[in-house]
């Protein structure tokens, strides 16, 4: 094992050396091949694979290393490498409650800000799968399990409340939270130099900057994000943080993990499915097939919430640690609040992916400029509808109706 006392970014050769020294994994003498495959915004990701010999064929691992800056912007945006610790601790914790839904961690090295983990190359990044129009029949079941288990077990409902406060301390993540606070809850509504806005929709951005009632709701959601330590969140649960096959789901990349409002994670999943629905206007040209796929996405959203709610209530009823939480009506009140937050955060996440710094491939890679503009306007319309209506929503069907109305409004005009 490389024992570095000073941090340095790994080279391909370093990564092979780390892999060779990983106890009990590759057979000594195996020929190893390594490529840097990171396509995210922040980190180096190496895949090391045994080529042949000694029974190691097809064995592989991933080494993920945090860079001391945001890769998407460059060295001018310094960023703590402690996020690698947060990510590996979050993965280990999630691995205790949902081992089948997260990659296995083999090793964490704090000096090198590096995590060695299971290679999931037999899965695809969900965002790419959705762009290709693939359906994932088990996704709602899997992600609702991930959400219910991880959110319940780290909340004051599911764990000792003094232990929870100690855990909150370990997951204080100010620098990555600041990214979220700026990129999601500030920049899209201001003239920030971080923003990345196509000239065709400058009118939409001007409207976001002057929409006082929308900004009022964004401020309520921002305030909750800043101050509510409800549960340990993944913190960046978009469809690029999910590896998937029709049979298996693995949630990766929890470097934004921190204690925040549950609806932020659930809203991230739902907002990203809706972003995909907006992009499908281009990706599926056949109208009937496109409508079928949109129905599939909306059904998935409904299933995610309904399964999450059912599983969360069961966990609460069977394992709740707070005696007074059985007070009549309290559970209903709690879950309605989570649903409303889910709607609001889903909307914020859609808006930020259209006018903020970091966009999504579902819409950004549409090659036809007028289809792209229409997809962007659709996403903004759904996002605004969800943010504006979040506090008056009573059911998942109302959330889906609000999204559908906004969708139809853009396509009728």
Distance CA 214, CA 158 (A): 34
Q: Which does 70 bind (CB under 5 to 8 A by kind): ligand SR1, Mg ion, none?
A: ligand SR1
Site for ligand SR1 in 140-179 (CB under 6 A): 179
Only one residue has tokens 């659930």, namely 266
Distance CA 251, CA 161 (A): 26
Write down the least CB distance from residue 202 to ligand SR1, Å.
22
Write down the least CB distance from residue 76 to ligand SR1, Å.
12
Stretch of residues binding Mg ion (CB under 5 A), selected from 45-53, 92-100, 250-258, 354-362: 250-258
> Does the footprint of ligand SR1 cover residue 183 (CB under 6 A)?
yes
∠ CA 305-336-167, rounded to 5°: 80
> Does the footprint of ligand SR1 cover residue 126 (CB under 6 A)?
no
> Does the footprint of ligand SR1 cover residue 68 (CB under 6 A)?
no
Tell me how far CA of residue 12 lies from CA of 19, 33, 47, 321, in angstroms. Answer: 11, 9, 9, 48
Write down the least CB distance from residue 248 to ligand SR1, Å.
22
Q: Which does 116 bind (CB under 5 to 8 A by kind): Mg ion, ligand SR1, none?
A: none
Positions of E strands within 94-209: 105-109, 114-118, 124-125
Q: How many CA atoms lie within 13 A of 125 on its CB side?
A: 17
Binding residue for ligand SR1 (CB under 6 A) from 18, 34, 67, 70?
A: 70
Distance CA 221, CA 380 (A): 17
Phi, psi of 360 (to 5 degrees): -120, 145
Closer residue to Mg ion in complex, CB, 217/253: 253
Distance CA 337, CA 328 (A): 16
Write down the least CB distance from residue 253 to Mg ion, Å.
4
Site for ligand SR1 in 350-389 (CB under 6 A): 357-358
Distance CA 70, CA 357 (A): 12
> Does the footprint of ligand SR1 cover residue 41 (CB under 6 A)?
yes
> Does the footprint of ligand SR1 cover residue 72 (CB under 6 A)?
yes
Distance CA 317, CA 87 (A): 30
Closer residue to ligand SR1 in complex, CB, 44/183: 183
Binding residue for Mg ion (CB under 5 A) from 109, 217, 253, 362?
A: 253
Binding residue for ligand SR1 (CB under 6 A) from 109, 236, 265, 341?
A: 236
The residue ranges that bind ligand SR1 (CB under 6 A) are 41-42, 70, 72, 179-180, 183, 236, 357-358
């Amino acid at each position: 094992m490389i024992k570095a006392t000073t941090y340095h970014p790994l080279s391909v050769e370093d990564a092979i050396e780390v892999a060779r020294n990983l106890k009990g994994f590759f057979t000594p003498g195996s020929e190893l091949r390594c490529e840097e495959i990171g396509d995210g915004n922040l980190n180096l990701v190496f895949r090391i694979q045994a080529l042949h010999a000694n029974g190691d064929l097809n064995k592989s691992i991933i080494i993920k290393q945090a860079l001391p800056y945001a890769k998407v912007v460059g060295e001018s945006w310094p960023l703590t490498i402690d996020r690698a610790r947060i990510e590996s601790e979050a993965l280990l914790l999630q691995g205790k409650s949902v081992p089948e839904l997260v990659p296995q961690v083999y090793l964490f090295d704090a000096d090198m800000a590096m995590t060695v983990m299971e290679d999931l190359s037999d899965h695809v990044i969900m965002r790419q799968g959705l762009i290709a129009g693939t359906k994932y029949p088990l996704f709602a079941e899997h992600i609702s399990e991930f959400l219910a288990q991880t959110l319940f077990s780290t909340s004051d409902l599911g764990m000792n409340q003094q232990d929870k406060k100690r855990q909150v301390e370990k997951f204080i993540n100010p620098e990555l939270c600041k990214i979220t606070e700026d990129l999601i809850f500030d920049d899209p509504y201001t003239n920030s130099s971080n923003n990345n806005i196509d000239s065709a929709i400058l009118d939409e951005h001007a409207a976001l900057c002057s929409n006082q009632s929308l900004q009022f709701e964004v401020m309520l959601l921002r305030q909750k994000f800043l101050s509510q330590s409800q549960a340990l969140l993944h913190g960046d649960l978009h469809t690029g943080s999910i590896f998937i096959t029709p049979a298996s789901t693995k949630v990766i990349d929890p470097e934004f993990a921190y204690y925040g409002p549950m609806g932020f994670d659930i809203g991230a999943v739902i907002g990203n499915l809706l972003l995909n629905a907006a992009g499908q206007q281009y990706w599926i040209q056949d109208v009937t097939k496109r409508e079928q796929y949109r129905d599939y996405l909306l059904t998935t959203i409904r299933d995610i919430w309904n399964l999450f709610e059912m599983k969360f209530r069961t966990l609460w009823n069977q394992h709740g640690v707070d005696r007074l939480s059985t007070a009549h009506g309290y559970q209903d009140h709690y879950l309605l609040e989570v649903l409303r937050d889910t709607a609001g955060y889903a909307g914020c996440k859609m808006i930020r992916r259209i006018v903020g710094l970091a966009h999504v491939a579902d819409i950004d890679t549409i090659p036809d400029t007028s289809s792209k503009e229409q997809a962007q306007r659709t996403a903004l319309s759904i996002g605004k509808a969800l943010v504006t209506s979040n506090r008056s929503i009573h059911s998942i069907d109302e959330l889906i109706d609000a999204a559908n109305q906004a969708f139809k409004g853009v396509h009728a005009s």
